[in-house]
Amino acid sequence: MAYQCPRCGQAVARGSSSTAGIAGGLVGALLYSAFGGFQCKKCGTIPKKEFPPEVQSKMMVGSLLMVGAAVLLLVGVIVLVAVLQH
């Protein structure tokens, strides 16, 4: 979900880290994105506190959904490994 930069109005994206992806796989990448900052191509890193309150609420819901997806993915992998062991 793209949000508008409060400084210039362009789209911002959640931060990403190839290191988090390498270290933690998809779960690590999801968690990094959930808790990382937002990047504007023109303005750089934008703190969440600069966004309007309603946008901050949407960001929080998006972060919670990402964390939930990461937890479900991790549990799914553990269950799959357990099933394959028998």
Number of domains in the chain: 1
CA 86/CA 82 separation, integer angstroms: 7
Residue 62 sits in which domain range? 3-85
Cα angle 75-78-80, degrees, rounded to a multiple of 5: 110
Which pLDDT score, from 0 to 100, does residue 21 have? 62
pLDDT in tens, 1-23: 589 999 999 999 887 777 766 77
Which pLDDT score, from 0 to 100, does residue 10 have? 94
- Half-sphere exposure of residue 72: CA atoms within 13 angstroms, side-chain side: 6
CA 80/CA 57 separation, integer angstroms: 34
11 is written with which tokens?
């789209």
Residues of the chain with pLDDT under 50: none
Instruction: Report pTM.
Output: 0.78
Neighbour count for residue 5 (Cβ, 10 Å)? 19
